[in-house]
């Protein structure tokens, strides 16, 4: 669950295909004032576990092979305005590896991802890493040099941010 910056929406991801009797592909948006389901409706091809939100983009991570019918390896992004998929297409891989959590960096220039993946865009990542919010390119992320938990026996399960720091939890 992630809220929009202006507080008008809440985005929910999970392992569902229907909300209030309306078809939804593992993600939905609600109006926070009324609780109404919004027409914003991307179609994710499997479980959504992580969300990160900016005023213009919703970043989605999880365990899925496609989004809006386009090949995406556990990561995709959608326009807030119309749910159109963007060109942002980084990939994670590894035995049992997928995205469990996501958060925007305090300056909103990076999407920090956590999970049980071993690689991020083909580079060793061991369960966490940072991606450019515009291009999806892998960015340096010092925490992954000390924290290495990935694969079938480990992962980063949650990420939160404040104005200066990113916090996470996991298991190994």
* Predicted confidence (pLDDT) per residue in 8-61, tens digit: 999 999 999 999 999 999 999 999 999 999 999 999 999 999 999 999 999 999
pLDDT at position 151 is 77
Residue 128 tokens, joined: 């966490």
Q: What is the pTM of this model?
A: 0.95
Q: Give the SS3 label for residue 153.
A: helix
CA 36 to chain centre: 23
**pLDDT tens profile 55-91:** 999 999 999 999 999 999 899 999 999 999 999 999 9
45-55 pLDDT, tens digit per residue, is 999 999 999 99
Determine the Cα–Cα distance for residues 144 and 127; give it in Å rounded to an integer.
Answer: 8
> Average pLDDT, stretch 97-116?
95
Q: What is the pLDDT of residues 120-163, one digit of tens each?
A: 999 988 889 999 999 999 999 888 777 877 878 889 999 999 99
* pLDDT of the residue at 29: 98
Query: What CA–CA distance (Å, rounded) separates 129 from 139?
Result: 7
């Amino acid at each position: 669950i992630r809220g929009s910056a202006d507080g008008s929406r809440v985005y929910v991801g999970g392992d569902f295909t229907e909300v209030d009797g309306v078809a939804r592909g593992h993600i939905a948006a609600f109006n926070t004032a009324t609780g109404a389901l919004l027409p914003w409706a991307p179609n994710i091809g499997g479980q959504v576990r992580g969300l990160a939100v900016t005023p213009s983009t919703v970043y989605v991570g999880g365990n899925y092979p496609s989004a809006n019918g386009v090949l995406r390896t556990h990561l995709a992004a959608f326009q807030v305005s119309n749910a159109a998929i963007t060109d942002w297409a980084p990939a994670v891989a590894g035995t049992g590896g997928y995205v469990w959590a996501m958060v925007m960096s305090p300056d909103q220039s990076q999407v920090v991802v956590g999970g049980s993946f071993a690689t991020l865009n083909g580079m060793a990542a061991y369960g966490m890493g940072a991606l450019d919010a515009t291009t999806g390119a892998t960015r340096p992320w010092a925490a992954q040099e000390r924290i290495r938990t990935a694969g079938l026996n480990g992962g980063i399960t949650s990420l939160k941010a404040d104005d200066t720091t990113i916090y996470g939890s996991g298991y190994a």
